[in-house]
Amino acid sequence: MRVGKEKTKEHLALVRKAISRNPNASILQIRDLLANIGYKLDKNYIHKLMKKIRSERAVRYDRAAKNEAIAKFDDFLQDMSDELNKIVSNPENQKSKIMAIRTLVGNYKTLLDLQFDMGVFERNLGKMKNEVVNVGDILKIINDTRRENQDTNKSG
């Protein structure tokens, strides 16, 4: 029997609620619990829903752990940035100032790379926009500009 998307969402919510109340519940226990409230579902279907819920949780926890790690690293970089900005604002030692600026830029680049790797931003390297370029128009503009420059050079 095929179940529609809306019914599947409803069943997912019911199974999720049953799991949250009793995390160690077996498939049969969940089936019986749902049968008591009027939902007679197959144990294989319940198992499929439980796997989906656990998979969603794993992705959510993984993302949360990564976000937390990046947030901690960002806090560390902010703390270091304050110290490095003190060095940059000191006009006495130019070598230290240059090193501090390089470190600030490197830290920012590292943070951006981490965010790209995590999917916060999307890299568009090697992708071309699907724009039609009229080469004739571009050549005409270049030639007109050259002629104008030559005319101004001859008259001036």
27-78 tens-digit pLDDT: 999 999 999 999 899 999 999 999 999 899 888 888 888 888 888 888 888 8
Residue 10 located in a structural domain = yes
Is 98 within 8 Å of 84 (Cβ atoms)?
no
User: Can you tell me the distance from the alpha carbon of 50 to that of 16, in angstroms, rounded to the nearest whole number?
Assistant: 8
For residue 41, tell me if it sits in a domain. Answer: yes
- Cβ pair 79, 51 in contact under 8 A: no
Residue 92 DSSP code: S
Distance CA 50, CA 52 (A): 5
Give the separation between CA 152 and CA 49, rounded to whole angstroms: 77
Whether the pTM exceeds 0.85: the reply is no
- Is residue 21 included in any domain, yes or no? yes
> What's the confidence (pLDDT) of residue 139?
80
3-state secondary structure of 38: coil
Structural domain including 29 reads 5-118
Report which DSSP code applies to 122.
Answer: -
149 inside domain: no
How many CB atoms are closer than 10 A to CB 136? 8
Is 132 among the domain residues? no
Rounded CA-CA distance 25/34 in Å is: 12
Q: What is the mean pLDDT of residues 130-152?
A: 78
Domain membership flag for residue 24? yes
Q: How far is C-alpha 44 from the chain's CA centre?
A: 34
- Asked if residue 126 is part of any domain, the answer here is no
| Measured distance CA(20)–CA(24) in Å, rounded | 9
Domain count, the chain: 1
Looking at the domain assignment, is residue 84 inside a domain? yes
Segment 87-97, tens digit of pLDDT: 888 878 888 88
CA 30, CA 41: separation in Å to the nearest integer? 10
Contact assessment for residue 29 and residue 22, using Cβ atoms and an 8 Å cutoff: yes
Q: What is the mean pLDDT of residues 12-35?
A: 90
